[in-house]
Amino acid sequence: MSESITPLESNCTEPAWTYRGYRLDGGNFTTAMVHLYRAEVTRANLWRSRLDTTTNWAVITTAAALTFSFSSAHNPHFVLLLVLLLVLSFLGIEARRYTYYALWYHRVRLMETDFFAAMVAPPFQPSADWGDALRDTLIHPAFPISGWEALGSRYRRIYVWLVTLLLISWWIKLSIHPEPVQGVLQIVQRAAVGPAISGAWVIGAVGVTYVALLAITLVTMQRQELRGAGVRTTKQARGPREPRVRRKPRLAVIITNDKEALAARLLQELGRGVTALDGVGMYTGDSRDVLLCAVTDVQVEHLETIIQEIDPLAFVVVVEASAVHGTGFRPFEPPS
């Protein structure tokens, strides 16, 4: 009697990767993934420390400006405005760094949740398309969030307090130095910067800037909430020296005469759900089996290969889906 081999046993003997005669088994593949994970964690920590560095610059600059402005009644008030512009420059730098940090963090979380977490709980298998998602972000790195979303996120979490402190301190400086004011009109007069720029223009420019920052914060926060609910809001920003690429869901409609074998291969190799429908050819009147399968764009080539091997005469239509919700098509939200 021949010994039967379960699918799990057969998979253990198959190489996970081959290249020019080299065969990489499951153990070596896991080791390679561990090294990749360590590298991505190191890179994410590096960009996280850069975020902290920019925040420290802003905090130290704000503290120095407040100390200088209130150390003497004759120190000019517009020093606080210059520091405000410098803090906003730090905000722009930090927002750009945050987009890079979100990219590396996305890869780390992808390996943690879809690969390593699957090792500790049944059925001990990675998520359906974690490999495709990881391959996509490695070959075509694209920022998971836009620059505006990064700007709004960093301002909401960190810089709103520094900007508000500077503006309150500026208003207090105008109110008490060189002597306490008698009314709001005197504050407006003191806000002037030299004889060329009146106080009304200065206060108006500061107010517009603050309102604009508040609007950016609210709009980007709403977009992040919508994305968290699975609603697509913005395209991903381009990564370093890479074209704008976004993983797109596809819907494959397959008309075949061998649905059982084809569906089994799609379920096993692509890890995607397959739905079978009954169809009728209107020209011949013969019954046809119709399979529906939602995949990502990087899986289309593999899907076509499977169809060609099982049923070369199958009729296949692959269309781009506007939105697909479910396992493997989830949104991404970066941390603070």
Higher pLDDT, 240 or 277: 277
Q: Could you tell me the maximum CA-CA distance found in the chain, to the nearest angstrom? A: 104
Query: Are the CB atoms for 89 and 104 separated by under 8 Å?
Result: no
More confident residue, 248 or 173: 173
What tokens does 246 get? 């976004």
Q: Is the omega angle on the peptide bond into residue 334 within 30 degrees of 0, that is, cis?
A: no
Task: Record the pTM.
Answer: 0.66
Nearest to 270 by CA among 245, 240, 298, 242: 298
pLDDT tens for 257-279 read: 888 889 888 888 887 888 888 88
Where residue 6 falls among pLDDT bands split at 50, 70, 90?
Answer: very low
Whether the CB-CB separation of 187 and 200 falls below 8 Å is answered with: no
| 13-29: pLDDT as tens digits | 556 666 666 777 778 88
Domain architecture of the chain: domains with CATH: 12-238 (no CATH), 249-320 (3.30.70.120)
Q: How far apart are CA 10 and CA 27, in angstroms?
A: 15
The band of 81, judged by pLDDT with boundaries at 50, 70 and 90, is: very high
